[in-house]
Amino acid sequence: MSQGKRLKNAYKGLDAEQFYALDAAVKMVKERATAKFDETVEIAMNLNVDPRKADQIVRGVVSLPNGTGKTVRVAVFAKGDKAEEARAAGAEIVGAEDLMEQVQAGKLDFDRCIATPDMMGLVGRLGKILGPRGLMPNPRLGTVTPNVGEAVKAAKGGQVEFRAEKAGIIHAGVGKASFSEDALLQNVRAFVEAITRAKPSGAKGTYIKRVSLASTMGPGLKVELTSIAG
């Protein structure tokens, strides 16, 4: 099936202006995920915040109850016993000065970066490389920690980082189209709860303005906010 025809079929029967209950939206997103690969189910949230202001930043992590379905490659800056702990927990790349040199050479074959506190002097030199890619270890996100084993397992087990962009929009993958409807419902609700808990002190009025779901290649569906609470 050509991409144009497939997209046309995916949009068939949909009203772009309609708001759908969460369970109906999940069902429709799954039904319309017809690509030849296992599409990611993505959530987009429009928040009533201005992240340029210090008291309106929305950022954090959430562990999705059913994981993301994505294979996450983890790099860890650590030495000695902590390096061994990271390897034992499943980190693909572990090192110190040697890992710094790899990153400086443009080799960033990883999705998450974790560091022990004593390594931050080294990692700090990589801020201009790791920062723009969202890979800079951060104590608030649990990626600067002496408990590297736990951090690696969390990253691989379905932990998702979130951050509101300058327009107050958050995007994240909350599972795969192959997941059951229940698994996706649980993941979406866990994600929205985490965003709700992360409401900054400077947010005024209606905090969550709009939520939509889509698969990688599928149409976006607006979700009724009242249906998300279950």
Query: What CATH number has the domain bearing residue 136?
Result: 3.40.50.790
Calculate mean pLDDT across residues 54-83: 93
Q: Is the pLDDT confidence value at 16 over 60?
A: yes
SS3 73: coil
Q: Is the pLDDT confidence value at 79 over 70?
A: yes
- Among 126, 156, 186, identify where a domain stops: 156
Distance CA 110, CA 137 (A): 13
Residues 185 and 124 occupy one common structural domain: no
Residues 41 and 142 occupy one common structural domain: no
Domain count for the chain, please give it: 2
Q: Is residue 82 part of a domain?
A: yes
Q: Is residue 193 part of a domain?
A: yes
Q: Is residue 109 part of a domain?
A: yes
User: Do the Cβ atoms of 36 and 53 come closer than 8 Å?
Assistant: no
Residues 151 and 174 occupy one common structural domain: no
CA dist list (Å): 89 to 22, 115, 121, 151: 35, 14, 24, 9
Q: Is residue 33 part of a domain?
A: yes
This prediction's pTM: 0.81
DSSP 147: -
Residues 164 and 150 occupy one common structural domain: no
Residues 166 and 62 occupy one common structural domain: yes
Q: Is residue 114 part of a domain?
A: yes
Residues 79 and 151 occupy one common structural domain: yes
Q: Tens of pLDDT along 179-219?
A: 999 999 999 999 999 999 999 999 989 999 999 999 999 88
Q: Is residue 8 part of a domain?
A: no
Residues 95 and 169 occupy one common structural domain: no
Q: Which residues contact 164 (CB under 8 A, 6 or more apart)?
A: 47, 49, 51, 57, 58, 59, 170
**Token pair for 85:** 């702990």
SS3 70: coil
Strands (E), 84-230: 93-95, 112-115, 159-163, 169-176, 208-215, 221-223
Q: Is the pLDDT confidence value at 10 over 70?
A: no
Q: Is residue 128 part of a domain?
A: yes
